[in-house]
Structure 1
Amino acid sequence: MKNNALTTLLMASSILGTAGLAVAQDKTITIESWRNDDLAIWQEKLIPAFEAKNPGIKVVFAPSAPTEYNAALNAKLDAGSAGDLITCRPFDASLELYNKGHLANLADLPGMENFSDVAKSAWTTDDGSADFCVPMASVIHGFIYNADAFEQLGIAVPATEEEFFAALEKIKADGTFIPMAMGTKDLWEAATMGYQNIGPNYWKGEEGRLALIKGEQKLTDPQWVEPFAALAKWKDYLGDGFEAQSYPDSQNLFTLGRAAIYPAGSWEISVFNTQADFKMGAFPPPVKNAGDECYISDHNDIAIGLNPKSPNADAAKAFLSWVASPEFATIYANALPGFFSLSSTPVKMEDPLAQEFVSWRDKCKSTIRSTYQILSRGTPNLENETWVKSANVINGTETPEAAAKALQDGLDSWYKPAK
């Protein structure tokens, strides 16, 4: 009897020991994010694909509401209760987390070699010595158009600025459609879908943006004033009352078929696909003259980094290396058309409108919005001031030259380029 009891005890101990070993080998990693709208994509597509190849690692996607994310994340980080992986906003918000020791340096992570310097620029220290998040996606700017309207009016897709304004003039003369759907009430569209959309063709993308940061160019130089001059001409084509038109108003005007062209960010694609009942196309910002090199705003939007205090750092790094892989890029970019992989490996898009946007990378040079890196850390904030000035120029209440001078004066009041 004693022997039987001893045998049972030993067997139980052995089973428990084996179970304990299995538990020790299994790791669960948690992702903090503000993107609660793509929870299903993580749960149904991304996480199963990773776990299938990494059976010892479980992944939990635990988003917060977008407006609460920054505060909630900072509180968790300060308390030591944040998840293993941190979804990174672009530029200064994430740089601040890195400087506080809340994000690890991932410069040596396997897979980071898959991204260009421009792709990593939103999550790189000013001196370029550290990369603290793995780039996930960018958004691209251009123009979405009603292809049925273009066909009806016999309009070819414009490639140059002259052709662009000729198309707008033809649409206006016909009177069936508002030539272009954009308002200035909310300010930010005037800069984001206006100035930052067409501007890179004037200031030559990264060349001009980096020269501005170095103090080698000023916002009063011709290449920075000319986009404002082009925007001033938009006023005649935005329809009656555009000054009081909100962002949702503009979206509705286009998807209801009342406007022919929409100055866009690629994030509109999935929304427009569900709302518009006409065929859509897209074209990149027209160049000044035929044969000019073209540039697109291919703006870094989202990335993911490592909490240095993660108790599961090895498992988390395995996940981050997978995020840097072509497999992740293909799943993510096709699940969220309009949010494009930043990987150097091209991703074939299933959505034709998304594929049109991303194809511009093959013929144009990519840049990011000129105000986002370094130049909007002071007061007045260059990004927010560019919203106001872009709207003023379109409204006709301020000249391009005056707007540019005010922006440069504001920048000069606090920003001194590093020598």
Structure 2
Amino acid sequence: MSATPSAAFHKRVTPGGWAAVAWGLGIVFTALLRMRVPGQEGPEVLPGFVILRWDGLLMLSVGTLLTLRGSALLARRPTSALNHLLVAPVIASTPLGVTAIPFAQYLAVDVALYAIAASRPGREARRALLLAEGLLVAYLAVRALCGWPAGTTGTLAVALAALVAWLLGRSEGQAREYAERSRAQAAEQAVTTERLRIAREMHDTVAHSIGIVALQAGAARRVIDTQPEGARQALGEIETASRETLAGLRRMLGALRTPGTDAQERPEPGPAASGSTETSAEVRGLPEMPGLGALDRLAELTGNAGVRVAVRVAGAPRPLPPDIDLSAFRIVQEAVTNVVRHSGAGSCTVTVDHRGPDSLAVTVEDGGPVPGHARVNPGPGSGYGLTGMRERVAVLHGEFTAGPRPGGGFRVTARLPLPTGDTTP
């Protein structure tokens, strides 16, 4: 039998409704205790003489009305509702001829304590518990001062039941608060992760092309008077790199502005839109989602900027998961960009090592600055490039090292673990 209907019913009944049900069950239980039921020689509790009179029935009716009123207010005004629910058992216990407030008459209060502890702030929940426990103590104190018998043991049992109900409600409230905080933190982390991903993609897409543009512009400025043809060629490379960068930015911004649209499915602007007869960036430059297969094109573009890139492959190339393929290329691209912008080196070497049975290793190293070779940015750089590479490797649970080489120059190495199904050459 499915539990779905009962769960739906549980959600439809409000805490105030459960408090009213608890009061009704308490009245029924109180009546059964004072009646002879089958299997018993007589009632377990002798009915008080007042309960059989009109004034006793009137007190029970007033207690019931107060409970119903408190149940109706429980969701909107919990403090006022608890006051009604606390007065009701005191009035209803009077005609029963008992020495303490019975457990059955306090069931509605227990339900209210649970609801308040689960849904209200801690200070309000603690105040509700103090009121409920204080009423029991005050009831015993009044009977003792008046010289009447006081049921201390029974009151202690009722107080413990109220405390248990409050603790259960408080536990549920804390669990709900923790779940809400966890969801908020997860959403914030997802936003942060996406921002970092976009920042890395923007950096990787733009930094390399801008470095090439800066180098070519510097070269054109130096030879424009003595070698017009060389300056014309440099300006052509600048134009090509600039168009590729703009096309990449348009694709990325289009993907961000259009939910559910893959950037790869967006058409490239045609010649009429770009104002040029050049082919698209995918043909002239790098593909939208490049992998290690685009290293030769990366080396060609970087070579045009004056930094020779030698690509070496160790071991037999194997099919790679798209995320690892893209990350490996981006790491190489960023490392080569750093060589172009900051090292002053005339060449660098890219090594892709497929020989590891369960990992892929990529290394980019240069031999240090060459006298007379221009740097795009002679300063130390912002550090975003190394941070982005380290983040990419960390996402894939790999290993990343970057630092000066013993013989001069700089080396970047990333080792990316491969899934089990992709380790066979």
The higher relative CO (CA closer than 8 Å, separation ≥ 6) is in 1
Q: Kindly indicate which of the two structures has a greater share of residues assigned to strand.
A: 1
TM > 0.5? no
Identify the TM-score tier after normalising by the shorter chain.
under 0.3
TM-score of the aligned structures, taking structure 2 as reference length = 0.20
Q: Provide the TM-score with structure 1 as the length reference.
A: 0.21
